[in-house]
Structure 1
Amino acid sequence: MKSVPKLIGRCIRILLFSFILLVILNLVLFILEFTTQKGNGRPWIAAKETAAALCKIGGGYSLPEELSRELEADNVWAVFIDNDTGQVVWKTENLPDSVPMTYSISDIADLTRGYIDGYPTFTGEREDGLVVLGYPRDSFWKHMWPSWDYHLIKNLPFTLLKVLAMNGAAIFLIYMIANSTLLKSVKPITEGIQALSEGEPVHIREKGLLSELALNINRTSDVLQSQNDQLRKKETARANWIAGVSHDIRTPLSMVMGYAGQLQCDGRLTEDQRAKADVILKQSERMRNLINDLNLASKLEYNMQPVKSGPENAVAIVRQVVVDFMNMDIDDKYPIFWETPETLSVCWIQADRDLIKRAVSNLIQNSMNHNEGGCGIYVSVRQNGAKCEILVEDDGIGSSDEQIEKLNNTPHYMVCDENTAEQQHGLGLLIVKQIAASHRGEIIIGHSPRGGFAVKMILDVIYRMPLTLA
């Protein structure tokens, strides 16, 4: 089953795409989140700017008013510690009472990397002292011991890739385990659907996630098998009925034809009576031919007619049929013209000789049957590439475009309407179509350039045969 691997591959591709998309989305969100945060270098810059802007005036210090307003707006306090005494010699007005006013060297080292009473502090150096800015307690988090193992930093990209790969493998494993039951249920379902399309009986175990679907497929299979069995019984009954009726009619029909023939030749009867006997004989012959056609059509439809296929020369077969009809046309009412190119003497096809002769005979007889006033019949064989074309056309009354359309597109050629006296192109063309189909060929029905009816039978050309077989 090709569909199950395709389904598994599609699921895996969706999983990988989802995993990659998830990673990209997380990175984008991570970047967006951190771009909205305050830069961790900004407080240090502010401390250095404050230290640079602090001016000594007389016995004290002063900070420009603009910078003071910025610090106040951010709720930042500031102090300036003298190098010599360690005392706070300048401070802002918002300095909390808990902030010490005297600092030792160890205190300064501690506040430089950490906090004063929970306030994150940042320092700016001056020649005569140190400026310290204190930010609100919930504004920054300071890393107290900013040192990392060298090998950890060096191998960090590889470590991240390894963790990412392990996470992906874990997600894939969880996904496959979670879907294994579903995949096991899908395989028999797809096999069952394929078997249904081929007309085979199907029974799928009704368990698992798709048990309801399996139940419906089993029911569908039972319905289709029941319908197929009934159809086969009907077809068998139909074929047997046709064969039985054909057999039962032949015996009384033979008696009718025999007595009609005797009456036709009886000199004691009047001309009118012999003419009536002649009509009975001709109509009986027509009935016999119709019965034979019906029986043959039934056998071809149900593949009961054996096709004895072999290499045959289509030109020779069709020429023989034309000669037979020429010999039968005593009063030259239906002249037949052989229009096969003289250069084409051999056109090999794989065919049953008798069936091809029957098809060509039906086409010629069809032209005769539907042109009671007589017509010219034109027969030709042509080779068009890998195709052998057998064409039979006439210059008779022809058919309308609507009739031609029906003949080419309906599954049979019987016109069963109320006007049964005007039935057109019955079993004869149906048999021709069936014979062509049994030889993997086709027929095309259309108008003849001569104004009448035309039928082209197209068959495959086979390899060139040895000259000794021609």
Structure 2
Amino acid sequence: PENLTNQDLPMAQIYTAGNRWVAYATVPLTISGRPAGSLLLIRDLEAVKKEFYELRKRLWITGTLLALTFTLLGILVAGSLSRPLEAITRAASDMQAGKLQQSVPVEGYLEITRLTEAFNDMTARVAELDEQRRAFVADAAHELRTPLAALKALAEGMEGDQEELKGFIRQIDRLTRLVNNLLTLARLDNPQLKINPVSIRVIDLLDEVLWPIKPIAVKKDIDIIFRNQKTQAWVLGDPDLLNRALVNVLDNAVRYTPEGGRVSIAVQAEGGFVHIITEDTGLGVPEETLSKLGTRFYRPSVSRDRRTGGSGLGLSIVQQIIKLHGGRLSFNSAPVKGLNVKISLPQAPPEL
């Protein structure tokens, strides 16, 4: 190369000649202190080039293998951490849904095993406390039934101000309904509860439900409109529990509909479900509170006040019964247009 010629100082460089590497070095020569030329050394670096590319190739392969190894180890470690955490998350979700008896396998690293053991201890304690609560509610409600019945019988046989006695009897009836609701919830809360499902024609079920509701509606001059009565829809369920759920829904509809109002009932069969839809002409429920309907002791503030005699347990019982049958309960309402309640139950083949 030209830049290596006529140099006053030693110099060395590597150049590419085609596909080859060549090293050039030049050293100035002096004779008696006077420049006499340069000494040029040339070395072919092809062997060094091959070793360099071979080393780079090995480094790439080694780096790739190490990256794959660390990735695999990371996946294994992440899996060993995430599996117990996912199990705990699923168990917590089941607890939120009401299934309090949960246990998660103890596995993983020390911190994870400690967390799992603490979670299992907590769920065991929560389940135990819930069992004590259910037992207390059931026992207390059972113990209250007899004195309430005795008080009602005594009040009915007393003489005096009839209006006062009627008010006293109404309060006893209200307490009796509350006690019965608590007993029903205690029964529905039992995880060992098993229903005895049979094929039920929905029209027949509604006829039985309306029998105790119609006199209340007549007394308030409320029209009960039964739409599409010829729908031959069948569901699989426990007749007594479904009767209780529908009575609660229709009793609410009549209770919160003003005199001269209307309650409509419709039955639809579609998508493998039978939908029983009731709608009243009461004041309705604010949209922001619809999601809370069915929560125990929850009462919207618009029309569901204590003067109606409700306890806030009726729709909670309906929710539990429908859930027990694999169905869905939904609500819809518009201000001053009443409440729409939709019960969806899995459709069943007709009874032969």
Q: Deviations over 1:205-242 (max 9, x none)?
A: 6xxxxxxxx22212212321222122112211110111
- Kindly provide the amino acid, as one letter, of the partner of residue 231 in structure 1: V
Q: Deviation at 1:449?
A: 9.9
Range moving further from structure 2, 287-296 or 172-181: 172-181
- Cα–Cα, structure 1 residues 288 and 334, in superposed 2: closer, same or farther, change >3 Å? farther
Q: Secondary structure at the match of 1:223?
A: helix
Q: Deviations over 1:112-142 (max 9, x none)?
A: xxxxxx834xxxxxxxxxxxxxxxxxxx624
The answer for the alignment partner of 1:293 in structure 2 is: 181
The answer for the alignment partner of 1:246 in structure 2 is: 141
Matches within 5 A, 1:252-331: 252-263=147-158, 269=159, 273-303=161-191, 305-326=193-214, 328-329=215-216
The answer for the alignment partner of 1:405 in structure 2 is: 288
- Cα–Cα, structure 1 residues 362 and 187, in superposed 2: closer, same or farther, change >3 Å? closer
Q: Secondary structure at the match of 1:381?
A: strand
Q: Which of 350, 366, 370 is the aligned partner of 2:252?
A: 366
- Cα–Cα, structure 1 residues 226 and 461, in superposed 2: closer, same or farther, change >3 Å? same
Identity of aligned residues (%): 18
Q: Which of 84, 108, 111 is the aligned partner of 1:192?
A: 84
Q: Deviation at 1:333?
A: 2.6
Aligned length: 313
Q: Deviation at 1:167?
A: 6.7
Matches within 5 A, 1:29-428: 38=15, 40=17, 97=36, 119-120=39-40, 141-143=42-44, 188-199=80-91, 200-204=103-107, 214-263=109-158, 269=159, 273-303=161-191, 305-326=193-214, 328-329=215-216, 332-344=219-231, 346-371=232-257, 373=259, 375-396=261-282, 398-401=283-286, 404-409=287-292, 411-415=295-299, 421=307, 426-428=312-314
**Structure possessing the higher relative contact order (Cα contacts under 8 Å, 6 or more residues apart):** 2
In structure 2, distance between residues paired with 1:195 and 1:420 = 43
- Cα–Cα, structure 1 residues 167 and 246, in superposed 2: closer, same or farther, change >3 Å? same
In structure 1, distance between residues paired with 2:66 and 2:266 = 73
In structure 2, distance between residues paired with 1:119 and 1:428 = 108
The answer for the alignment partner of 1:24 in structure 2 is: none
Q: Deviation at 1:413?
A: 4.8
Q: Secondary structure at the match of 1:141?
A: strand
- Cα–Cα, structure 1 residues 388 and 176, in superposed 2: closer, same or farther, change >3 Å? closer
In structure 1, distance between residues paired with 2:128 and 2:339 = 39
Q: Which has the higher strand share?
A: 2
Q: Deviations over 1:130-173 (max 9, x none)?
A: xxxxxxxxxx62449x9x9xxxxxxx9xx999998877666666
Aligned partners of 1:349 and 1:460 also within 8 Å: yes
Q: Deviation at 1:253?
A: 0.8
- Cα–Cα, structure 1 residues 219 and 393, in superposed 2: closer, same or farther, change >3 Å? same
Task: Please say which structure displays the higher CA radius of gyration.
Answer: 1
Q: Deviation at 1:175?
A: 6.5
Aligned partners of 2:289 and 2:300 also within 8 Å: no
Q: Gapped runs of 5+ residues in structure 1? A: 1-35, 42-73, 78-94, 100-117, 121-139, 149-155, 206-213, 264-268
The answer for the alignment partner of 1:453 in structure 2 is: 339
In structure 1, distance between residues paired with 2:234 and 2:69 = 62
Q: Gapped runs of 5+ residues in structure 2? A: 1-12, 19-25, 92-102
In structure 2, distance between residues paired with 1:75 and 1:330 = 119
- Cα–Cα, structure 1 residues 184 and 433, in superposed 2: closer, same or farther, change >3 Å? closer
Q: TM-score, normalised by structure 1?
A: 0.55
In structure 1, distance between residues paired with 2:53 and 2:234 = 71
Q: Deviation at 1:292?
A: 0.9
Q: Deviation at 1:442?
A: 2.2
Q: Secondary structure at the match of 2:332?
A: strand
Q: CA RMSD in A?
A: 4.2
